[in-house]
Amino acid sequence: MSVLQDIVAGVREDLDARRQAVSLTQLQERAAQAAPPLDAFAALGGNDPARPDLRVIAEVKRRSPSKGELAGIADPAALAAQYRDGGASVISVLTEERRFGGSLADLDAVRAAVDIPVLRKDFTCDPYMIWEARAHGADVVLLIVAALTDAELAEYLALTHQLGMNAIVETHTAGEVARAVAVGARIIGINVRNLKTLDVDRGVFAALAPSIPEGPVVIAESGVRNAADVHHYAEHGANAILVGEALVTDATPLERITEFKAAGSAAIGAR
Q: Which residues are designated catalytic?
A: 59, 61, 121, 170, 191, 221-222
Distances (CA, A) of 177 to 39, 187, 266: 23, 11, 26
Burial class of residue 48, CB neighbours in 10 A (0-12, 13-18, 19+): exposed
Residue 247 · residue 253 · CB < 8 Å? yes
Bin 199: left if φ > 0, else alpha if -120 < ψ < 50, else beta. Answer: beta
Q: How far apart are CA 165 and CA 39, in angstroms?
A: 7
Residues 6+ apart with CB under 8 A from 174: 207, 208, 211
Minimal CA–CA distance to 271: which of 226, 203, 225, 209? Answer: 209
The single-letter code of the amino acid at 265 is: S
Burial class of residue 223, CB neighbours in 10 A (0-12, 13-18, 19+): buried
Strand bridging mode 90-94 / 68-69: unpaired
The single-letter code of the amino acid at 181 is: V
Minimal CA–CA distance to 239: which of 57, 89, 51? Answer: 51
